[in-house]
Structure 1
Amino acid sequence: MDNKGNDNNGAAANNAKDNVGSTTKGDTMKAPGEDGSNISREQFEKNPQGYFADLHAAQKDNKKN
């Protein structure tokens, strides 16, 4: 196969999909279920179930007040 028109000399393209799941310390993400706040991606990925349990508990407390 020839590489005519291929500027990367046959190397794989660097797509955003190639970096899925790779995080570095300090990365943040939009907090799911929140209004624009950011949270530590590393902490969320360690325990997403705990994050949502805390979120739902806080929402229930807010509805009681």
Structure 2
Amino acid sequence: MDGKGNGNVGAAAANNPKDNVGSTTKGDTMKAPGGNGSNISREEFVKNPQGYFADLHTAQKDNKKN
């Protein structure tokens, strides 16, 4: 330990979610942004986040019409 509470800096950095952005394995899921708690494929979302949000907004508009 270095006296600052950083006994194992490497492990702490590896557990930082921001360090894992873009690193996915097949089958990983995530909570869908704006999806009311549903899960989606992380791989598909990372490939095309703009498409996800475009589809989400279209679906929301369609639901308001009905």
TM range (shorter): 0.7 to 0.9
CA distance in 2: counterparts of 1:53 and 1:38, whole angstroms: 17
- Does structure 1 residue 17 correspond to structure 2 residue 1? no
Corresponding residue number in structure 2 for 1:38: 39
What stretches of structure 1 move > 2 A for 4+ residues in a row? Answer: 3-8
CA distance in 2: counterparts of 1:35 and 1:4, whole angstroms: 44
Computing the radius of gyration from Cα coordinates, the structure with the larger value is 1
Cα 1:20/1:64, change in 2 over 3 Å: same
TM value normalised by structure 2? 0.75
CA distance in 2: counterparts of 1:48 and 1:24, whole angstroms: 17
Q: Which structure shows the bigger proportion of residues in helix conformation? A: 2
Number of residues of Structure 1 aligned to a counterpart in Structure 2: 60
For residues 11-44 of structure 1, give each alpha carbon's deviation from its aligned partner in whole angstroms, at most 9, with x where no partner exists.
x521212741221111000000011100000000
Gaps of 5+ in 1: none
Cα 1:64/1:14, change in 2 over 3 Å: same
Gaps of 5+ in 2: none
TM value normalised by structure 1? 0.76
